Chains A and B, each alone.
Chain A
Amino acid sequence: MANEKVDVAIVGAGPSGILLAAKLSAAGKKVVVLEQGPPFEMKDLISSDIWARRLKWGGPTVSSEGRTPILFNFNVGWGVGGAALHHFANWPRLHPEDFRMKSLYGRGLDWPITYDDLRPYYDRIQTEVGLSGDHKAEIWRPAGAPYPMPPIKTFRHAELISEGFKKEGMHLSPAPVAINSVEYNGRPACIYDGWCGAGCPIGALANPQATYLPQAIKAGAEIRSYSYVTRVLVNGSGDRATGVEYYDRQKQRQVQTADVVVLAAFSAHNPRILFNSSTDKHPNGLANSSGLLGRYMMAHHLSATWGMFDENIENHMGTTGAQLMCQDNYTKDGRKEAFGSITWFIGTALKPSDILGFAGGHGAVFGEALHDFMKKAARGLTRFGAQGEEIPNRENRIELTNRKDEFGFPLARIVHEMDDDAMNLFHYECELGLRIMKSTRAKEAWTGTTPAFSHLLGGTIMGKTAKDSVTDSYGRTHDIANLFVAGPGLFPTEGAVNPTFSLHALTLRTADYMAAHWGSVAR
C-alpha cells in the first residue's frame, strides 16, 4: 500500500528523529516519522523498575557476540522516545581531542568536523532543552556558554564519596545534566525521587516527550507508531532514495515515498536496514561503497565501585545518573596503563530491584544472607562508576546473520571485543575506584570484576570522503544524496561521555543544513 508522498520520511522516533521532525516541520516540510514500537506518552511512564523494562528493546533479536558482548537489549530503547525515554540525562560535552584522535595521537579516527564546529549547536541545544550544572566548577569543560540552570542537589551518599575523591587529590564538579534544577521553559524542577530510568513523567528530565516531541506534533509532523521499516527503496539507477518499505501493526506491507529519507533508528538498526536494502546497483548494501557499513561499532565500558556505610546515606534520593562528575582522567595518553579517556560519575539514586539496584551490588549473595544484605543496603549502600572509552576498531561490527525476521529479512548480530587498551583502562578504573572508596568512611568496599557496557555508537561513521566513511559530517550518505543517517551511529570516536547531548547538537546541525539547502538535499 502506498501512502501520500512526504518531504521527509524519518525512521525511528528516538531523540535524533524527533528533533529532526520538530525542526524540519517548523521549516515547513511535511514529515512522517516511522517508529517500530508503541506510542509511549508521559502517562505511561510508571514508577517501577519492573515496568521500566517495557521501555527496553522489544523488537527482532539482535545477537550480541564476540569476546566481550554488549548487552544490547538493556541499552536500547523501544517505542516513541527511543533510548532517551529511559536515559539518565548525563549530558557532558565531547572534548576537542575526541574529534581529532587520529591527528593528535595516531590512534583511531578523526571526525570530519572539530569541536569548534559543534560548539554553537551544543550551546543552542542546552538553551532549548535546559541543562543544569556549573561551568566554572567543571574545570575540564571545553569552551561554551554557561549552563542555563544551577546544579542539581547533592545528597549524603554523593557527599560521602566526594571525600574519597578529595583524598586522592581529584576534583569533582556538579554533573551536567538535562534535568531541571529549577522550573525551565514551563517544565517543573526535579523532585529527586530516583525514577529517571523508568522515564520521567513530570517533564523535569529531557526525554523527547518533554522536549521536541510536542514541538514536532505542533508543527505538523506525523508520528506513525508500530511501523517496522525493512528497507530503503531506491530508483532504478540506484542513485536516489524514493522512500521506505515498512510493515504496519496488521503486518501489512506499506510504502512511504519521500523526497528525503533519514535513518534515525538505533545505531545497530540503521546498518541492518541499509544491508537489507541491497540492490543490483548496491549489492553489499546501500551507502556501502566504502565497505565500512556496520563497522567501527563502539560502546562505553563501565566499572562500578561499591561501598557499604554504617549510617543512613539517603541512597534512595537523587537522580539515577549522577550528582557529581570527575574528568581528571580524561586525557587519553596521560597514563602508563592504557590509552583512552575516563569520566567518573558519583551519586546515583538506588532502588532495591533490577540489575542496577541494591541486589545487583553483590550478586553472589543469596538465601537469608540476601535479606540481611538488602536491609543493610537500604541504609548504607552506594556506588560510583567510571565510563571508559574504546578506540574505534574496524572489526567491531554489526552484520547480517542467516536467521530471518517474520517478513523474511535477515536479522543482525553485533560482534564486539574490548582491545587491550580498553581492558587495561577498565582494570585501572577498578583499582583507582577501590582505592577511592577505601579512603571514605565506608565499612566495606568492592568492585565488579567484569566490565558492563553502555551506549552503542558507530556503524555508519561520518568522514571526509566516500573511501573512509559512510556519510559526510551532516549524516548525508556519500553514495545517495537524499539519504541521511542521524544519531550516535555517525560518531567516529566516542570519547568518555554519554552521547545524548552530542547527538542532539549534531542533529541540530544537520537540521539547519537540510533546511538551508533543501533544494540540493531533496534534488
Chain B
Amino acid sequence: MKGAAVSALAFTVGGAEVLLTAREARAQDVPLKVLTSDERAALEALGDTLLPGAKDAGIAHYVDQQLGVAPADCLLVLRTMDVVPPYVNFYRGGLAGLDQASLKLHGAKFAALAPDQRYAIVEQMQQKAPDGWTGPPPPFFYFITRVDAVDVYYGTVEGFERLGIPYMPHILPTRSW
C-alpha cells in the first residue's frame, strides 16, 4: 500500500467527506474548520522553520483536522501531555504569541518574516519567551509543534521511505489519522 493511502485524513470538500492526505488537502486548499487564516499562515511558517517541507506536507491541515475531533479521539501528541482540552486553545494561544512577538520585534507577523528572522525567534522559543510573547510556555509550544512537524513529514510510510527504513506494519492505518 502506498504511503498516500495510509496518511489520509477525512476532509469535507463540497459538502462531502473525502479521504485526502494532509499534503493533498493543502494542495487542494481545502478550507480549515478550526484555525483561522492567520493561524494557518503562522502554523505553516512555523512548521517549515522547524522542519522544512512540513508546510507542504500539510501540517496545518493535519493539526486542524485533529482539533475538530473529540479529545478522546485526538491523535495529536498534545493529547499525551496533560494539557486541558479543548486543544485548540493551546494552538491558538501559541500562534498568537508567535505573531505578537514577531510584530514587536520586526513589525510583521511571523509568516511575513524573512527566514533568518523566523529562525532567530524559534531559537529563542527554545529557551524563554520572546519579547511580546503571550500564550503557553514557548519551549513547550516549540516542543509540541516540532513533534507535529515530524509527525506529518516523517511519521508516515512515506516518511519512513524518505529515511530508507522499512515501515514493517502489522496493520496499516487506512483511514484518517
Binding site for B on A (CB under 8 A): 37, 43, 45-51, 53-54, 56-59, 61-64, 69, 71-74, 78, 193-195, 200-202, 316, 352-355, 357-360, 363-364, 366-368, 370-371, 374-375, 378-379
The A-B contact count (CB < 8 A) is: 137
* Complex alpha-carbon distance, A352 and B147, angstroms: 10
Judged by a CB distance under 8 angstroms, whether B132 is at the interface is no
CB neighbours of B166 from chain A (8 A): 316
Q: Determine whether the beta carbon of B72 is less than 8 Å from that of A37.
A: yes
Judged by a CB distance under 8 angstroms, whether B102 is at the interface is no
Q: Determine whether the beta carbon of B168 is less than 8 Å from that of A73.
A: no
* Complex alpha-carbon distance, A69 and B52, angstroms: 33
**Cβ contacts B4-21/A at 8 Å (1 or 0 each):** 001000000000000000
The one of B84, B151, B167, B173 in contact with A61, judged by C-beta atoms closer than 8 angstroms, is B84
CB neighbours of A61 from chain B (8 A): 82, 84-85
Judged by a CB distance under 8 angstroms, whether B103 is at the interface is no
Besides A49-B151, A71-B81, 17 other CB < 8 A contacts? A48-B155, A48-B169, A53-B75, A58-B79, A61-B84, A63-B82, A195-B170, A202-B170, A352-B155, A354-B155, A355-B80, A366-B51, A367-B52, A367-B122, A370-B150, A378-B163, A378-B165
A47: min CB distance to chain B, Å: 4
* Complex alpha-carbon distance, A355 and B148, angstroms: 10
Q: List 28 A-B contacts (CB under 8 A).
A: A45-B170, A46-B169, A46-B171, A48-B155, A50-B173, A50-B177, A53-B79, A58-B72, A58-B79, A63-B84, A69-B82, A73-B79, A195-B170, A201-B170, A352-B150, A353-B150, A355-B77, A358-B154, A359-B146, A359-B150, A364-B126, A367-B50, A367-B52, A368-B52, A370-B50, A370-B150, A374-B163, A378-B163
* Complex alpha-carbon distance, A364 and B82, angstroms: 22
* Complex alpha-carbon distance, A415 and B119, angstroms: 37
Q: Determine whether the beta carbon of B119 is less than 8 Å from that of A201.
A: no
Smallest CB gap from A45: residue in B: B171
**Cβ contacts B93-113/A at 8 Å (1 or 0 each):** 000000000000000000000
**Cβ contacts B51-87/A at 8 Å (1 or 0 each):** 1110000000000000000011111110111101100
Pick the most buried of A59, A194, A363: most chain B CB atoms within 10 A of its CB. A363
CB neighbours of B172 from chain A (8 A): 46-47
Chain B interface, number of residues (Cβ within 8 angstroms): 43
Q: Determine whether the beta carbon of B164 is less than 8 Å from that of A73.
A: no
* Complex alpha-carbon distance, A46 and B53, angstroms: 26
B53: min CB distance to chain A, Å: 8
B45: min CB distance to chain A, Å: 13
Smallest CB gap from B72: residue in A: A58
